[in-house]
Structures are given as structure tokens and as C-alpha cells.
Amino acid sequence: MTLSNCIKQALVFCCVSLIIIFSNTFRLLAQEIEWIEVSKTNNELLFIDPNSLKYNNNGFLSVRTKHSEFNPEDKKIVNSDSYLMVIDCENRLFSKLPVNSEPKQVKNLEKPINDKLIKQAIINSCAY
């Protein structure tokens, strides 16, 4: 076997190894979120990603959520939006932040006055 053949085989082996390693990494990163419905009204749904639930040092719960509006007649989704919800479970207060935010960015928490969807989401999220 010549030196050039050994080098070619080594390069092929390295390339194949890298492809295998990176393909497994991309598959892990591309896994879809398994949303769980926690609240529903006549035309709205609120889902949480249970894998995103985290408590911080202040005792606040953060969870990735998805709010969807649907047509009550045909049940088709009309609008959908994701955000990070930070919850004070003890006082049943909440704040909405952009998905990639940190819970420490919360300026103030608010009561879910007359918002059945958020109230139910807080109760169900805090049960985890």
C-alpha cells in the first residue's frame, strides 16, 4: 500500500466519522417540541413545553408557551405565537417575554384579571 493510498483512506475515514457525529447532533437539535395543552377557551388554546420548565433563584417558574387562536367552526388554527412565560406560582402572577429571553429580564408581574386562559395555564404549569 502506498503512502498516498493510506492518506486517502485516512481522509475518507475522518470525513465519514465527522458526518456521523454531526448528523446525530443535528438530529438532537432539530427535535420538535412536544406541546401539552394546558388551557382552552372557545377559540384559543395555550400549550406549554414541559421540557422547558425551570425554577429560578427567586422561586419563579419559567416555561415556553404557545398561544393559538382557532376558528371554532372548523377548528383550524388562525394564528399562533410562542413566548416565555414567567410565573410566580405562590401569588399566581405572570409576565410574558420573548422566547429567547431570560426570566431575570422580568420587570413586573401582573394578575391575570379576566383572562381564563392565562389563569388556567398558571394553575396547570405550577402543578409540574
pLDDT tens profile 31-58 = 578 899 999 988 999 999 999 999 988 8
- Is residue 88 included in any domain, yes or no? yes
Query: What's residue 45's pLDDT?
Result: 92
- Is residue 41 included in any domain, yes or no? yes
- Is residue 14 included in any domain, yes or no? no
- Is residue 3 included in any domain, yes or no? no
- Is residue 70 included in any domain, yes or no? yes
Query: What's residue 128's pLDDT?
Result: 81
| The total number of structural domains that make up the chain | 1
Q: Which three cell numbers stand for residue 111?
A: 394578575
What is the C-alpha to C-alpha distance for residues 67 and 39, in angstroms, rounded to an integer?
10
Write out residues in the chain with pLDDT < 70, as ranges: 1, 12-31
- Is residue 29 included in any domain, yes or no? no
| Domain limits for position 59 | 36-126
